[in-house]
């Protein structure tokens, strides 16, 4: 069955053999990436790191990203550290994902101040069923330095603004492009447009043809990193299983100053390197350090998952009301003093959905990142799963290229290896995130007892805790 979209009928009517002839075009790529978000841009960086594959990246906002990458570079040079303007969308980059970004020269482009490290994670739940103060056992303290075993880094993750990460990715891509313009044809082309129209029969040997106004492009492999509402996934009718949590996440940046004296552990990391997470009956609320200010305060990014109605209230209430609500929501083992919202930062909400594609590969088309799996943000793992996908895909493609294989050919053997690498791991992670979310959301004393028991067991058994933490770190 020939799958085609759009309005060009010429190819559809042509006999098979003639269609071949039309498709032979000099505009060919080894890999065409649709969607240049964090995951898509990372795939592009990884694939061009050896300068061997011809890659095209389609991203409607590419011009803006490239421009900002230039500005960002200038900003770093002036050492503008006291910038209180922090963007709302942040990502928690685990140590493993960091290695991926490091391998393609991106991580080094982000100044350390822009990627504060999380050395400790404090997780507790406050459901209101235990009327007394919090049990010590129901507070989980994950301290990276305490659990430092063999070659474990002294931190669990870094928090970075999505904008900063994208700028670093695009400044790397820009450098790859510039470097190429001196030699003959480039190994990377960036198109500031979406992939609109693809003609491809996943069962045939032919390459996907990406329709474009001056000249159609052909690609050995079409990588879809165009987000949870992936257009490519829809074009090829790849199945998608999803449901809505009927929740929204409220994001905001707040300025926090911690009371260092009240810390339960002397010598432990200060709040500026601690991530907090409280499981409320309405959903988890997480607090991540994003920027250290010269005044000693910390700008923290709040991701508050809650019911639709409460989210609307939190979005619309005044700043002082919001701070008050936040104080209530994060009553816990730490005295956190919420000063105000960070300058210039509004609040935003987005709906929480769960989604998973049971099949990541269809012929020469592969889904990566959110196009393949949309997860609850409670563990901050969405971007890390996507980066692991990117690393696996790039690794498989580059190894196959070393043997001269047709990257999308052999019945999709190379791409299916990527699926084999990632599918089970992603499902396991998504399911465990979902399960944690559910057990903390379930009302009633039984669930509360399970939670208390669970956290108690986890806290007292160092082996389990260690394992969970390494899992959270992406290892």
Partner 1 sequence: MHPKLHGGSRQSDVEDLHGQGEGRRGKDKMIRSWVAWRHLRSLGQNVRRCSSSPQSPSVDAAEILKFNALSAKWWNTQGHAAFLHRMNPARVAFIRSVIESLLLRKDAPLAVLTDREEDGSGTCLPLHSVSVLDVGCGGGLVAEPLARLGAKVTGIDGAGDAVRVANEHAKMEASLRSRLEYRHATVEQLVQEQRAFDVVTALEIVEHVNQPREFVASCAALVSKKGGLLVLSTINRTPLSYAATILGAEKLTRIIPSGTHDWNRYITPGELGAVVEGLGFTVERVVGLHFNPLSGVFFLSERNLDINYIMVAAWHPR
Residues at the interface with partner 1 (CB under 8 A): 1-2, 15-17, 20-21, 23-26, 28, 50-54, 180, 183-187, 201, 204-207, 218, 398-406, 409-411, 413
Shortest CB 196 distance to partner 1, Å: 23
Q: How far apart are CA 197 and CA 201, in angstroms?
A: 13
State both tokens at 227.
């987000």
Backbone angle region of 237, left / alpha / beta, with phi > 0 → left and psi within -120 to 50 → alpha = left
Q: How far is the CB of 15 from partner 1 (least distance, A)?
A: 5
Query: 3-state class of 37 per DSSP?
Result: coil
Nearest to partner 1 of 56, 400 (CB atom) = 400
Whats the size of the chain, residue-wise? 475
| Sequence-ordered list of residues with C-beta below 8 angstroms from that of 15, at least 6 positions apart, any chain | none
**Torsion 197-37-56-398 (CA) sign:** negative
All residues at 6 or more sequence positions from 431 whose CB lies less than 8 Å from its CB, including other chains: none
Q: Do 364 and 208 contact (CB within 8 A), yes or no? A: yes
- Does residue 137 contact residue 452 with C-beta atoms inside 8 Å? yes
Contact between 359 and 99 (Cβ < 8 Å): no
Nearer to partner 1, 208 or 333 (CB): 208
In the bound state with partner 1, the residue whose beta carbon lies nearer, of 79 and 404, is: 404
Looking at beta carbons only, is 44 or 123 nearer to partner 1?
44
When the beta carbons of 398 and 468 are compared against partner 1, the nearer one is 398
By C-beta, is 180 or 331 nearer to partner 1? 180
Residue 228 CB neighbour total at 10 angstroms: 19
Residue number with CB closer to partner 1 (276 or 418): 418
Residue 274 tokens, joined: 């601690």
- Tell me the closest approach of the beta carbon of residue 51 to partner 1, in angstroms: 7
CA distance linking residue 118 with residue 129, whole number of Å = 30
> In angstroms, what is the minimal distance from the CB of 186 to partner 1?
7
């Amino acid at each position: 069955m020939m799958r085609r979209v759009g309005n060009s009928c010429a190819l559809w009517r042509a006999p098979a053999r003639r269609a071949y002839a039309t498709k032979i075009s000099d505009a060919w790529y080894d890999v065409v990436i649709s969607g240049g978000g964090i995951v898509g841009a990372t795939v592009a960086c990884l694939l061009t790191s050896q300068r061997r594959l011809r890659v095209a990246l389609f991203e409607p906002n590419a011009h803006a990203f490239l421009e900002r990458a230039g500005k960002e570079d200038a900003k770093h040079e002036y050492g503008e550290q006291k910038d209180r303007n922090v963007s709302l969308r942040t990502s928690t980059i685990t140590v493993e994902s960091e290695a991926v970004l490091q391998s393609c020269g991106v991580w080094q482009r982000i100044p350390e101040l822009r990627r504060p490290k999380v050395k400790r994670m404090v997780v507790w739940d406050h459901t209101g069923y235990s009327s007394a103060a919090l049990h010590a056992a129901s507070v989980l303290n994950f301290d990276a330095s305490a659990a430092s075993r063999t070659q474990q880094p002294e931190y669990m993750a870094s928090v970075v603004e999505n904008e900063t990460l994208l700028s670093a990715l695009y400044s790397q891509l820009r450098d790859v492009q510039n470097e190429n313009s001196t030699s003959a044809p480039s190994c990377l082309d960036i198109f500031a447009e979406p992939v609109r129209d693809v003609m491809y029969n996943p069962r045939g040997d032919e390459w996907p043809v990406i329709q474009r106004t001056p000249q159609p492009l052909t690609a050995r492999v079409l990588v879809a990193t165009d987000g949870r509402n992936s257009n490519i996934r829809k074009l090829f009718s790849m199945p998608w299983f999803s449901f809505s949590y009927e929740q929204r996440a409220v994001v905001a940046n707040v300025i926090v100053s911690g009371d260092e004296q009240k810390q339960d552990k002397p010598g432990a990391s200060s709040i500026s390197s601690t991530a907090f997470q409280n499981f409320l009956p309405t959903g988890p609320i997480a607090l991540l350090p994003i920027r250290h200010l010269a005044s000693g305060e910390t700008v923290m990014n709040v991701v508050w998952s809650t019911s639709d109605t409460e989210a609307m209230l939190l979005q619309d209430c005044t700043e002082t009301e919001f701070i008050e609500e936040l104080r209530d929501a994060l009553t816990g083992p730490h005295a956190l003093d919420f000063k105000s919202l960070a300058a210039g930062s509004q609040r935003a909400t987005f709906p929480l959905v769960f989604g998973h594609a049971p099949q990541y590969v269809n012929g020469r088309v592969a889904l990566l990142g959110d196009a393949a799996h949309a997860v609850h943000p409670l563990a901050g793992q969405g971007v890390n799963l996507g980066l692991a996908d990117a690393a696996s895909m790039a690794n498989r493609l580059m190894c196959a290229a070393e043997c001269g294989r047709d990257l999308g050919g052999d019945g999709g053997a190379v791409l299916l290896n990527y699926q084999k690498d990632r599918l089970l791991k992603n499902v396991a992670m998504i399911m465990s995130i979902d399960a944690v979310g559910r057990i903390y959301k379930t009302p009633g004393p039984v669930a509360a007892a399970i939670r208390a028991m669970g956290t108690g067991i986890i806290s007292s058994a160092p082996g389990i805790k260690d394992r969970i933490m390494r899992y959270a770190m992406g290892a």
